[in-house]
Structure 1
């Protein structure tokens, strides 16, 4: 019986990687005079945005840089990030099936709140664990285990979705059925160092592989 579905956010629930890259590139250009590629920024992923800036920025004005990051993230969100109707419909379908939903992301709470409101996903989740809520970032499973504990759901009764190697490793270490996805235009990897239980390339593929039974309150694998 599957009682909960927990998602990563950037590259999994929303195509927000372009806005993340844009905001970080502006920060490092403004404060360190460095032109970083998306791949270079992706290599810093794990901690929250504030953690990434504090760890990797050489300029001592880190608090000012963090403020600048959120300014850039907010001002260009609408132009760089679109609402994905298929994912929005999936989330609502899970809720209608009485399956609990959550987010476990390395993203910080402030930027996640901006994105959830802009993409009309706020209020759809029973638990949200961000990079601000953990001591050990992904691939450590700390945040996923916290989410399961809050939901009072056993790891055998949950699914975790993610688009990165760190997501998959965290899911496997938490002993949760783990699905690697590349169903959005921007995602982090399709080649995982540890094999997820399943790789899904579209929301429709997930729907055809799993049955959501409203009457039974179950999520069955075919």
Structure 2
């Protein structure tokens, strides 16, 4: 039985690489740095926007750099990104069936809320746990644990849908099933302990309930 689905945001539901690259390159140019292509940016997505900026600048950045990026990204966030095919319909179907939905993202909360609102899917979620919502981030088990506690759903009746090894590790640490989409920004190799329970080829054709019968993995302590 599936009562809750925890879902990653960037690369899983929304293709945000174009707008992140736009804001990042505007910031790099402002500091007279060499710009990067969108494919490079895709490989950097997953640890939050600040980590993205630090990767582009080669290390920790001054607050002025971060504020410049934040200003530009706030303006374009949700305007140059697209929902992956079938994402909206999947969320509507699950919400209509009474499945509790939560976003689990390392993206900063302000950006995540803006992205959900601009793509008109915010009302489909019961909860958002962002990269700055807690003192820890994915793949720390406390992130999924916090979401499950807030939703009042045990791990064996929930699963995590994502696009990266970080998402698999988040699921494993919390005793959740891990389902990985075929699109997105899959940093890392899905092998060994990092192999998910299932790969999802298309959100449009995905029925989580068909995968909900197996036992959840035991938490990693």
**Alignment map for 1:8-19 (pairs within 5 Å):** 8-19=8-19
**Alignment map for 1:1-222 (pairs within 5 Å):** 1-31=1-31, 33-38=33-38, 41=41, 44-53=44-53, 57=57, 62-77=62-77, 80-84=80-84, 86-183=86-183, 186-189=184-187, 191-193=189-191, 194-207=194-207, 210-211=209-210, 220-221=212-213
C-alpha distance in structure 2 between counterparts of 1:86 and 1:58, whole Å: 36
Shift of 1:79: 5.0
The TM-score, its normalising length taken from structure 1, stands at 0.80
1:56/1:80 CA distance change after superposition, 3 Å = closer
The TM-score, its normalising length taken from structure 2, stands at 0.81
Shift of 1:43: 5.7
4+ residue stretches of structure 1 with deviation over 6 A?
Answer: 58-61
C-alpha distance in structure 1 between counterparts of 2:39 and 2:141, whole Å: 24
Contact 2:42 2:185 in 1 (8 A): no
Give the match's secondary structure for 1:80: coil
1:62/1:123 CA distance change after superposition, 3 Å = farther
Shift of 1:10: 0.1
User: Structure 1: 5+ residue runs without aligned partners?
Assistant: 212-218
Deviations 1:112-151 (A, max 9, x none): 1221111001121111100001333323232111111111
Contact 1:53 1:62 in 2 (8 A): no
Shift of 1:52: 4.7
C-alpha distance in structure 2 between counterparts of 1:29 and 1:140, whole Å: 35
Aligned-CA RMSD value: 2.9
